[in-house]
Amino acid sequence: MPELPDIAAYIAALQPRVVGRTLERIRLSAVSLLRTADPPVRELEGREVREIRRIGKRIAIGLDGDLWLVLHLMIAGRLHWRAPGAKLMGRNTLAAFDFSNGSLVLTEAGSKRRASLYVVEGTQALAALDRGGLDVFACDLEAFVAALRADNRTLKRALTDPQLVDGIGNAYSDEILHLARLSPTALTQRLQSEEWERLFDATRSTLAEWTDRLSARAADDFPEHVTAFRSEMAVHGRYGEPCARCGDTVRRIRYADNETNYCPRCQTGGRVLADRALSRLGISPLRTNPTARRRGSR
């Protein structure tokens, strides 16, 4: 799922392309994409784009008349900048938003349709879409700790809860915890003051570094290949590979559709955490071959 740095990069690429321009036409090929009926989506056509905002992991495009077009890409949704009037090609193409200088095309890979489009009027209606998580760049350490300690959760769960922290998902939570040298399964109510400081600093620095890096790239080229797996990442998506910091083997915990990557030496005092997927089969993660990594899972 595109997270805060990825959404910021999309916005950096869109601003010079669409702000100040008229949204001429909206073409939808997937009816399920649109989640609102009032105002009608056609009300957006012929209006000028005034601004673009990030609302958590959503992209909000503000137009004349205080109308907002809000996109949530979910896991597999991606944006593309195409030539004006680009055709809606293939079953994965859900919508196109046409401007005189190009078309913003929304695609979603896979068979599940989770991406969404909302049309709302007014900033109050826009604010209702905000899950309420903290903006780590606008809060202090005390507020950060209070939010995450409200319930006794693992750090991984707390960081990826949009009602607690804004814009962090599976990928960047792995990077944050590695930088902070903290276990993904550490409980929030058991962290010490020094550990909280490391986590807060790591959260800010990781998000800032990747936001700056991806937004700089988007200034030159539209981010056509947004992915949760990047070669420069420290642990996320690097199962079976050596940790860049210490050389130990990066391990994983799998659950549902997610995978947590971590370094035992850097984060858990050398302890290999139980892999739930393997535990159900009665297999110890210590007996697995970490180099037998499925490259196709990326």
pLDDT digits (tens, 9 = 90+) for 130-145: 999 999 999 999 999 9
pLDDT in tens, 183-236: 999 999 999 999 999 999 999 999 999 999 999 999 889 998 888 889 899 999
| From the candidate CATH numbers 1.10.10.2520, 2.60.40.10, 3.40.50.300, 1.10.8.50, the one assigned to the domain spanning 141-297 | 1.10.8.50
Q: Would the pTM of this model clear 0.85, i.e. be above it?
A: yes
Q: Where are the domains of the chain?
A: 4-127, 141-297
Taking only the tens place, the pLDDT of each residue in 230-281 is 989 999 999 999 998 999 999 999 876 788 999 999 999 999 998 764 443 3
Q: What is the pLDDT of residue 276?
A: 61
pLDDT tens digits, one per residue of 5-39: 999 999 999 999 999 999 999 999 988 999 999 99
State phi, psi for 167 to the nearest 5 degrees. Answer: 85, 10
Q: Measured between alpha carbons, how far is 142 from 132 in angstroms, rounded to an integer?
A: 17
Query: In this structure, are residues 236 and 228 in contact, taking their beta carbons and an 8 Å threshold?
Result: yes
d(CA 92, CA 112) in angstroms, rounded, equals 10
Q: How far is CA 186 from the centre of its chain?
A: 22
- Give percent of the chain with pLDDT exceeding 70: 92
Which CATH class, in words, describes the domain spanning 4-127?
A: alpha beta
* H or E element at residue 18: helix 4-18
Number of alpha carbons in the 13 Å side-chain half-sphere of residue 13: 26
Q: What is the DSSP string of 148-197?
A: HTSS--BHHHHHT-TTTBSS--HHHHHHHHHHHT--TT-BGGG--HHHHH
